[in-house]
Structure 1
């Protein structure tokens, strides 16, 4: 898929107003305040800037066993969920440092409602308190537990997808890669503006280094908080695009945004998967920025892109159900 040139005139009007407001308020990067303060600000942003959702059938929290204690997961059951149907195990974004179940509550509700599948959101451990590999260890543990509890959740073990946005997209890709040749291989991976390499020199990272919500300094800061030493950035369990063998990973739905510094690495990951023989479907939102799935109240295009993602995921899981039935 080819992206459009980075022309400011192509930026979504609602998103432009949001970015202008950030500039006028003197807002600076994610590294400008203590981590706990940035976490609280992210909760506030996500709560106020996401569009309302239709009601769900049920929402409940559960505890999954993890490598360092229990992991809280939140189950979203839409009213149109099929008995013994599909599910998405979701990992939130936030650079492995910020974000939680609350920041992505609205997003998960929307994915469940418009996908017609149950969504199980994972509250994995965050850096810098818990550096690599804590997040990926929790992600694999939570996904494995959901697979083992498929009957309890009334989901089809063969229709469990993994997904996430930003750093959560990286976790979903890594879970897919690590389990690709096991009987726990996910049904598909849904990667929403994913981080596919922590250290990277792409055109989108260079051109969009500042002024588009996620900056080059933010990316550097998150990487430093997540990793114990820089060399870990070259590990496939950190940067999934560096995995040496992607030939058996699940089919992917990859979402990219035209004004996201991570755009090019998302497109490159889609291409690498295709070269490995993996089925890839892409959604490109040319006028949007990184994090748009948390900004749906500001932009009809952002809302439409998230709904489209959910619908395509739901259809893909239904196709798998029919093909295996």
Structure 2
């Protein structure tokens, strides 16, 4: 027991910030000499951002990619004290033409047919795995009343962007073709992802639009949709938060340029893609996020193209907040709201 508490001391200390008076939270931010002013940001996240800045954090991606991946995996593991309980969580292997791919299946009501969400995690196409987004999948599954199948797709630069998308699309097709293995409401299969995973979900939705196997709905959480343009939110929030300017530059280099793709290629920038007959989309943005404006703009474009859209901005949140629900009560409340809102949205389209 004591060993477990020591291993989870980071999560416990961070969780205690939720019960700290706001005046003390502000004093802590000042004491840590945090050089950025984001007064509307969740106070707990302000403290966490100030602490990580004081510890030398300047972005997710470093020149040593292996170390960056390990740091991300370790930091996510340290933040989880007690995972959200679901009655069924199990890893499985998807047998694709390109080889075997691991996925994790979450079912909130194993004896009841319910929709399936195929989920692609964030991490700049270069970081992340099933474990880094395990808690987020548990929360969304529980409160959306949907099954989740989280896909452990290959990362760049280990594979090309083209191969990454091909594998993710093949995983989607596998789920559709094998839906009899799951207790799914007939053809009620939605697609979802956060950040880079939101990009993947958007690209796959466009590629499969007007086909029988197209998603019934999209859940896009602060998606990256435009590598070509820089919006006002990029310049406003490019430093001092979880996702930084240097991260965007690294992802652009490794995901787009090194794969000889143009910045406006719909394979990487779906905002320049085809919107005709796209699946209904619930699009989420965080107010303090370099990607905020492009996500909002994409929602507007879909709406003008006649696509059913639900758009919601969580102004007091930063990019990555769905990974911080174990330490921020506000982040947990907001992710629960995302799950519940998607449940209501999905009911209108299936």
Q: What TM-score do you get using the length of structure 2 for normalisation?
A: 0.85
Give the corresponding residue for 2:128.
99
Aligned position for 1:208: 237
Count of residues in correspondence between the two structures: 314
Q: Which residue of 1 aligns with 2:79?
A: 49
Structure 1 residue aligned with 2:252: 223
> Aligned pair 1:11/2:27, yes or no?
no
Gaps of 5+ in 2: 1-35
Which deviations, in whole Å up to 9, do the C-alpha atoms of 1:172-201 show, x marking residues without a partner? 111111111100110100000100112321
Look up the SS of the partner of 2:197 in the other structure. helix
Instruction: Give every structure 1 segment of 4 or more consecutive aligned residues whose post-TM-superposition deviation is greater than 6 Å.
Output: none
Is it true that 1:239 corresponds to 2:269 in the alignment?
Answer: yes
Matched residue SS, 1:310:
helix
String of CA shifts for 1:85-129, please: whole Å, max 9, x gaps.
201000000000000011011111111111111000001110111
CA distance in structure 2 between the partners assigned to 1:220 and 1:199 by the alignment: 11
| Equivalent residue for 1:59, pick from 58, 83, 89 | 89
Separation in 1 of the partners of 2:304 and 2:128? 33
Conserved 8 A contact 2:38-2:46: no
The 8 Å contact of residues 150 and 156 in structure 1, kept in 2 or not, is answered as: no
CA contact (8 A) 2:84 2:135 kept: no
CA 1:300–1:204 in 2, change beyond 3 Å: closer, same or farther? Answer: same
The yes-or-no answer on 1:306 pairing with 2:335 is yes
Shift in CA distance, 310/295, structure 1 to aligned 2, threshold 3 Å: same
Tell me the residue number matched to 1:283: 312
Q: SS at 1:40's partner residue?
A: helix
Using the size of structure 1 for normalisation, the TM-score is: 0.92
The equivalences for 1:87-166 within 5 A come to 87-166=116-195
Residues in 1 aligned to 2:197 and 2:253: alpha-carbon distance in whole angstroms: 17
* Equivalence map 1:168-207=2 (5 Å): 168-207=197-236
* Higher relative contact order, chain-length normalized (CA < 8 Å, sep 6+): 1
Alignment match, 2:60:
30
| Contact kept in structure 1, 2:234 and 2:291, CA below 8 Å | yes
Gaps of 5+ in 1: 1-5
Could you say what the CA RMSD is over the residues aligned between the two structures, in angstroms?
1.7
- CA deviation after TM superposition for structure 1 residue 62, in Å: 1.6
Instruction: After TM superposition, give the deviation of residue 38 of structure 1 in Å.
Output: 1.0
CA distance in 2, matches of 1:156, 1:297: 31
Aligned residue for 1:169, secondary structure, equals: helix
Tell me how far apart the structure 1 counterparts of residues 198 and 319 of structure 2 sit (CA, whole Å): 12
User: Secondary structure, in 3 states, of the residue corresponding to 1:31?
Assistant: coil
Aligned twin of 1:271 = 300
Q: CA deviation at 1:33?
A: 4.4
For 2:346, which of 301, 317, 320 is the aligned residue? 317
| Equivalence for 2:10 | none
For 1:298 and 1:62, locate their aligned partners in 2 and report how far apart those are by CA, in whole Å: 29
- How many Å apart are 1:224 and its aligned residue? 1.3
Q: Distance in 2 between matches of 1:7 and 1:37?
A: 30
C-alpha separation in 2, matches of 1:90 and 1:229: 24
